[in-house]
Amino acid sequence: MPFCRLKCICTSLVLIGVFIAPVSNVWAQIQTSGFSVLQLDASARSAALAGSTTALRESNGSVLFSNPALLTPRADRRLAFSYLNHISNINAGWLSYARQLDSLGTVAVGLRYLSFGSFDELDQQGVKTGTFGASDIAISIGAARSWRNVWSYGAALHLTRSAIASNSASATAIDAGIVYDNPTSRSTFSASVHNLGIVLSSVGTRADKLPLDFRIGLTQKLAYLPLLISITAYRLHELDGGDPENGSFSAVLNHVKLAGEFQFSESFQVRFGYDHRKHQDLKIKSRLDMAGFSTGLGLVIAKIGFDYSFNSWSSLGSLHRFSIVSSL
């Protein structure tokens, strides 16, 4: 590969990391994990809740990407599509579809796509000689079954590929989880492992890694208020705690996502969330920096679900996601 093109590709990888990984963690993210599409929230509801959805049931196949054990018969024949307009012309999309099969349980298939846009290719004199692109894609299939009406378990297989110019990396990974519903206390508990697998090929000489993640989750519906509280502990296999100067309380919060959803009716919900790790990594302003905070809403009109989410990235900008769910 010509040196000038290799230099362009390396520069592009760094730029991609700047926009996808938390700012203060850019180089560490590039060094330790790849396949960015596997790390993004797959629906507007999930994004509005800061990704705290490991124990949050949903009546469509998009839960295939957050915890396959959450798939239920209510997702039968439900098609879900989500779109993300990221920073700097980066775009992403998700598609999922679920069916209820008596012999297997609830089965879902999904597609995730992430485009980093187009980059200029320059020669050694800095003259533009063309363009090249970069993208990620992942194809998924998963299934879940219930046991004794309160337990459910599921797994999903993901085949993913990352490409930049004529170079590519590929991997296969699995997610697996269990969920326990307690109807008496109106709570749900979950435990799951994500992106456990094998990298089949890497870009360049450095070995790419999958973004492995162990999570536990809890959702609780309040008895006298139409509010559902969701808490997710994540990256439990790597308790780094973040910057030690922020204190022990901040270190704990760096592995916790907090969220709530006001469920005013089945047709209207208002959501909010907070990701402390993102707040610490992305904040730029000394005061009133909303990085890591998220909000959104859900509407159902004529049996079609519409969801929207807003995520603040401080002075870098904001992310807007849209999701549509319908029966086929």
Q: What digits encode the pLDDT tens for the residues 71-107?
A: 999 999 999 999 998 777 788 999 999 999 988 899 9
Q: 3-327 architecture in CATH?
A: Beta Barrel (2.40)
Which stretch of DSSP H or E encloses residue 45?
A: helix 44-48
- What is residue 8's predicted lDDT score, i.e. its pLDDT? 46
Dist CA 253 CA 241 (whole Å): 8
State pTM to two decimals.
0.84
Q: Which amino acid is at 21?
A: A
pLDDT band at 250 (very low <50, low <70, confident <90, very high): confident
Q: How far are the Cα atoms of 43, 59, 68, 144, 205 from residue 106, in angstroms, in the given order?
A: 19, 11, 10, 5, 41
- What is residue 313's predicted lDDT score, i.e. its pLDDT? 80
Dist CA 188 CA 199 (whole Å): 33
CA dihedral 44, 290, 240, 13 (to 10 degrees): 70
Higher pLDDT, 27 or 244: 244
C-alpha 279: how far from its chain's center? 17
Residue 53: exposure state from Cβ atoms within 10 A (0-12, 13-18, ≥19) = buried
6 pLDDT above the threshold of 60 = no
- What is residue 15's predicted lDDT score, i.e. its pLDDT? 43
pLDDT band at 243 (very low <50, low <70, confident <90, very high): low
What is the three-class DSSP state of 191? strand
Model pLDDT for residues 273-297, shown as the tens digit of each residue: 999 888 888 777 666 778 889 999 9
E-state strands within the chain: 78-85, 91-101, 105-122, 128-147, 151-164, 167-182, 187-201, 213-221, 227-233, 256-265, 268-275, 293-301, 304-312, 318-327
